[in-house]
Amino acid sequence: MTAPPVPSIAEAGEALRSGRLTARDLLALHRARIAAVDGRVRAFWAMDPRADALAVQADEELAAGRDRGPLHGIPFAVKDMVDVAGLPTSNGSRAMDRTPATRDAEAVRRLIEVGAVPLGKVATYEWGFVGPEQGLEHPPATNPWNIAHITGGSSSGSVAAVAAGMVRIAVGSDTGGSIRSPSAYCGTVGLKPTRGRVSGEGFFALSHKLDHPGPIAATVEEAALMLDAMAPESGGSSRLCHGAGGLTLGYARDWFADDPALDQRVLTAMDAAASALSLAGARIVEVAMPDYDLLEAVGAVMIHVEGLRLHEVSLRERGDLWGRMGTQTVQAGVVLTDDDLARAEALVPGLSAEVDRVLAGCDAILTATTLTPAPPFAAFDKGAVWTPMRTLPFNVTGHPALSVPAGFADGLPIGLQVIGRHGDEAGILRVAAALEAATDHGVLRPAL
């Protein structure tokens, strides 16, 4: 018999506080679901030995009247590029030292501080670069909607665990779309906060200038609760119930509609999402964005140069343990110079200002997250395949951006991306919550 998906945070919280469920019971439900479906999904690779003790502590505190908030007693997963005390951070690579971390990453510590229970670590693409790649230490996580298809990367295990109902929330990181693109492919909510909003202490860096830690969740509300814990000053959940009424939303349709890589079903879903928000009270205006190819080129230079700097010694000394895709990605930085990086970085303020000018005329921007549904694993049999997205520009500019479920194509999810002003995570969560309330995309779950 298949164990059911774990209950929502709201359902679990009510049961915990009424005494109908203990945190230990809730932990057991999560483990039963993992045992039932993770053999096919392949999200988890290590379990946190502290989970039982922290669940007992949560029960004792709730019984004594100490309530740490809505995440008290709620299990969560952590991407394997993030330190968890007592567990190694493998970064999905055989070349990584396996000495266990001595302390939790700051974002993980903050989640534990509000009573959340770290369940375990989940898969990532090697070093957070491209994938999926077979033949590494751990096989790549699969898409719970169709296990013959990829999750996207590099927060592959985080989104797979959430989409498959093994957890409701998971920690991810995003350098060029690694929270948002797999969330689009797997039907989860993935939030890349404003640069610097969530502490990156204890996160393995792919690019110090582009990395953004953030939440991955089953619903917008749960992503907001997670952000509230990771960055209390964000006020992420403060405007969830305000709806779309009175908002002006810029629809960056031309930014992707004519791209030859676009699956037309994505365009149909984006138009439908904009229409749903209009019917919910928002004013939709089409907006012109900065040149996408330039933004992507700037981000690519930054990733490849910083990636080479970070990994040059490891690749030279332990390259025989690296996978092919990671090796090729790092080696691409060899042809770039410090002058190339300087020229790319010099363009960033102007590009960021262009996005700011668009946002001066609207409350948020709407566009596609990815231009296709998740491709099949078979497409990668001969090596890396370019998967068209619209995510990297906002790592370059640092604006907050999230992906929220917006439809399906052949049973595979499609994600709408919402971009906001610097520091306005609450605003884009409000827009996403309005779309979630106006459609049923977010409540549908795969048949695992």
- β strands within 324-392, DSSP E: 364-368
Is 79 in the active site?
Answer: yes
DSSP letter for 324, please: H
Q: Is 233 exposed, middle or buried (0-12, 13-18, 19+ CB in 10 A)?
A: exposed
| Closest CA relative to residue 184, chosen from 419, 404, 446 | 404
Task: State the catalytic residue, choosing from 79, 121, 192, 209.
Answer: 79
Residue 334's contacts (CB-CB under 8 Å, 6 or more residues apart) are 308
* HSE of 220, CA atoms in CB hemisphere, 13 A: 35
Are 156 and 127 spatial neighbours (Cβ–Cβ below 8 Å)?
no
Beta strands 146-150 and 364-368 are: unpaired
| Whether 154 is catalytic | yes
Catalytic annotation present for 178: yes
SS3 category, 103: coil
Q: Which of 90, 158, 173, 178 is catalytic?
A: 178
Distance CA 441, CA 276 (A): 12
Provide the CB-side half-sphere exposure for 50 (13 A, CA): 21
Crossing angle, helix 324-331 and helix 292-318, to 10 degrees?
Answer: 110
Assess contact for 354 and 364: CB atoms under 8 A.
no
Q: Which of 111, 100, 119 is nearest to 35 (CA)?
A: 119
DSSP 84: B
Contact 59, 82 (CB under 8 A): no
Contact 324, 383 (CB under 8 A): yes
Q: Which of 90, 93, 121, 154 is catalytic?
A: 154
Q: Which residues are catalytic?
A: 79, 154, 178
